Structure formats: structure tokens, C-alpha cells
Amino acid sequence: MTQLLKVQNFMLSRDGFGAGEGQCMERPFGHADPATMGAWAFATASWPGRTDNAGSRGLDDFLIRDFHHNIGAEIMGRNKFSPHRGPWTDHEWQGWWGYEPPFHTPVFVLTHHPRPSFTLSDTTFHFVDGDPAKVLEQAKEAADGKDVRLGGGATSVRQFLDADLVDTLHVAVLPDYELGAGTRLWESPDELLDRFHRDVVPSPGGGVIHHLYWRK
Amino acid sequence: MTQLLKVQNFMLSRDGFGAGEGQCMERPFGHADPATMGAWAFATASWPGRTDNAGSRGLDDFLIRDFHHNIGAEIMGRNKFSPHRGPWTDHEWQGWWGYEPPFHTPVFVLTHHPRPSFTLSDTTFHFVDGDPAKVLEQAKEAADGKDVRLGGGATSVRQFLDADLVDTLHVAVLPDYELGAGTRLWESPDELLDRFHRDVVPSPGGGVIHHLYWRK
């Protein structure tokens, strides 16, 4: 059974940015507005934060509820985990997600700065240095036969794309939302077509165009 | 947690038939050609019958790999289970699927003719009489908190639709394939719009148009 490396539900502005500039504690996505970027996802029945019994169960919901399907580990960039930069001054910061992080698997945080692993509920965060291939190997071993999610941000996804390690990508592009600056995934969605097949599927719910890539 | 009743990957001719006329041992779908009806599904990486490492991982694959997601039981019509009609003359027939049926859950077969339950691998077949609401209640109990799949054929789906028990339907319509006769799901895909929301999503892979309904 092949273990895939997958990018899922990655939200992107029309001009190719996954997050804006100026990330800080109050603005995890910098000047990008997460409520706008994620509106299509928050409207689905399967969005993990949902506590009522409402929400759509059409196309967008299929994409959202696939999130945990056969995933055994996540790899994320340091800047997805934390607004801090440089060496850890203390170990108080444990991510944005509270005591019940939505991952439920081992998570490998890419950083040059060592830090001990810790566990919150059923998610364990490991802090790893090394090139993408080596980190992927660690994550695959931890995933125990299941696939590995590459959780972003854009800089980390680019790193793994450049090393040709990504097997599938789902990028949700907002056709009416521009950021002008921030962390960039691509100049154009066509860049990847030399190495990937692609389906382009406008959400009938509106507001987002799904780009589904898989390796040739 | 609400338990849903779901119709998944239900394949339909342009003129509304799920299967043709003249079902028999050699032709489970009557004069309908299952290779044509299912071509879009067989091309995906997640099709259960696939043994190689190939296949598409775009939109169609999301729909196919959702099949087992949170499903704890299936309900199917007698004519999906068997080409025989009337009382069971013997109990030799155990379905079309060999020793490893692709359900992996309890399966409730709708029939007026009693027959003892039996198990093949991790699938147990029960034979149940009674109105749709009562059968659904049994299936939900067996599903142990998970959703219930309504597996077809068209006649059974109609029965549960008429009783207003279906929560979501995914119908894959072949726009270029007509059957003229057989078991009918609908006269028009718009019939259900009084009770359901709907996304219509043409597969970028071609050959099929996905209709995704969910209860209003």
C-alpha cells in the first residue's frame, strides 16, 4: 500500500497567497481574513468546528469530510504552529488549537530550533529539523501505513513541491479575493501541470474554485 | 450525533433508469451494461476492485473513496442481492460478491420471503420484511451510531424517498446513455427539489454528471 503525501483544503487568494503579511497572535493569517478565506468550508455540515446539525452536504462537504480519511500524520511549517520566530524562548506556546487540537495524529513541526515533543489530547507535536525527504520518512513511519497530510503554510508546501514529494493537492482558490502580498504558493495554478493531472471544479455553492491535482 | 440514510454513487442512465430489463445470473443489470455505467468509477484510484497503483485522484475519486466513510450498515433491495424472485427455493445463493463482499457491515435485504441470516467474511446479510421506517430503525441500531447506506436498486431508493427517509443522495447520471426501460429512479432530476438542496457537478473526467442532494 503506497503512502501518499497530501495537501488538503488549502485556501488560496486569487493572486496565489495562502496567508497575508504581518502574522501575530491576534492575526494568525496576517492581513488575510480567515473568515473570508474559509467561508466555503465553514458552511459545510462536516466542518469540525460545527456544533449544530446544519450545514451543506453537497460538493464542498465531500472535500471537507475527506480531511481525516486515512491520514496518520501531519507535517506543518513552524509558522503554521506559532507566531514566534527564532529560538523558543519558553515552551508555553502549544499551538493555536487549545487542549483538543483537530489533528488526532502525530504532527511534525518543521523548525531549525529544537524543542521537546508534547501531547495535547490525542495529538503529539514533534519538532523536527532536516530536509523534506527525511522529515517525510519520519512522518510516514509515524503514520503506520496511512497517508501523511502536508498541512501548510504555503512556504512548506512549496518546499515539498520543489523536492517533488507531494502526491495530491487540493487547493481552494477564492476567485474574488486578492491579498497583494504574503506567503505565496504559486504564480499560476498552471505551474504544476508538467508533473500533475488536474481537475478544476467550481463549487456550485459559489465563492471558491477547487483545484484537485494528482501526480502523473 | 444524527445518523443519516445515504444513497452513494448511484449510477443512472440519462432517461432515469438504474438498471435495465431482464436481470438474470449472467446480466445483473439486465440489458444495461455495467462497464458503461461504472466507467467513471472504475477509472479512479480508490475503486475497491483496483489492484494496481494507478487511477485518477481528482473529483471522481473523492466521491468513490467516501463510500465507506462513517457507514455502519447497508439496506438493499432483494433484486440487488439476487436474480431470483419469489420464495427462496434453497439457500445456496449468497449474493454476487463472492467470499469477500465489499460491504464490511451488516446488510439488510428487503424481502417478503424469510431466510436465515448468514455471514461472509465481515459482512452479515439479514433478510427483513416490513415498511421502510421499521427496516431503517433496525439498520440504524446495527450501525451503532454510524450512518446507513441505502444501496439500491432504484425501486428500493424510490420506496425510501416516498417515505421521506433519505437524507443525502449522490446520483451519477450518464448524459450519453439511454436505456429506454428498466427500474426507474425518477422522471426528472428536478423532482426532488421540493425537499432537497442540490449541487450539479459535471465530472471534469467526462462521461458523468454528479447530482448531490441533501435534505432541506
pLDDT digits (tens, 9 = 90+) for A108-157: 999 999 999 999 999 999 999 989 999 999 999 999 999 999 999 999 99
At B75, the amino acid letter reads I
pLDDT digits (tens, 9 = 90+) for A164-205: 999 999 999 999 999 999 999 999 999 999 999 999 999 998
C-alpha cell at B27: 446480466
Looking at residue B1, its pLDDT comes to 65
Looking at residue A1, its pLDDT comes to 65
At A99, the amino acid letter reads Y
CB B2 within 8 A of CB B70: no
CA distance A95 to B104: 38
Which chain B residues touch A61 with a CB distance below 8 Å? 214
- By Cβ distance, the residue of A45, A63, A200 closest to B62 is A63
CB contact under 8 A, B214 and A56: yes
Q: How far is CA B68 from CA A66, A176, B73, in A?
A: 11, 35, 10
pLDDT digits (tens, 9 = 90+) for A13-50: 999 999 999 898 889 899 999 999 999 999 999 998 78
Q: Is A162 on the interface with B (CB under 8 A)?
A: no
Q: Is the pLDDT of residue B163 over 90?
A: yes
- By Cβ distance, the residue of A53, A63, A168 closest to B2 is A53
- By Cβ distance, the residue of A59, A69, A214 closest to B201 is A59
Which chain A residue shows the shortest CA-CA distance from B210? Answer: A59
Å from B204 to nearest chain A CA? Answer: 6
Helix (H) or strand (E) holding A202: strand A196-202
Q: Is the ipTM of this complex over 0.90?
A: yes
pLDDT digits (tens, 9 = 90+) for B197-207: 999 999 998 78
CA distance B122 to B104: 5
CA nearest to B78, candidates B121, B56, B108, B58: B108
CA nearest to B78, candidates B68, B70, B88, B65: B88
Looking at residue B206, its pLDDT comes to 76
Å from A212 to nearest chain B CA? Answer: 5
CB contact under 8 A, B59 and A204: no
CB contact under 8 A, A199 and B205: yes
CATH 3.40.430.10 fits A5-85+95-215, yes or no: yes
| Topology of the domain covering B5-86+100-215 | Dihydrofolate Reductase, subunit A (3.40.430)
Looking at residue A125, its pLDDT comes to 98
- By Cβ distance, the residue of B57, B61, B197 closest to A56 is B197
CA nearest to B173, candidates B74, B24, B63, B25: B63
What residues pair up with B10 in beta bridges, in sequence order? B171
Q: Quick one: what percent of chain B has pLDDT higher than 70? A: 100
3-state secondary structure of A162: helix
Looking at residue B48, its pLDDT comes to 85
What residues pair up with B208 in beta bridges, in sequence order? none
Which chain A residue shows the shortest CA-CA distance from B53? Answer: A2
CA nearest to B149, candidates B133, B167, B164: B167
| Residue in A8, A212, A215 to test binding to B, most B beta-carbons within 10 Å | A212
Domain ranges of chain A: 5-85+95-215
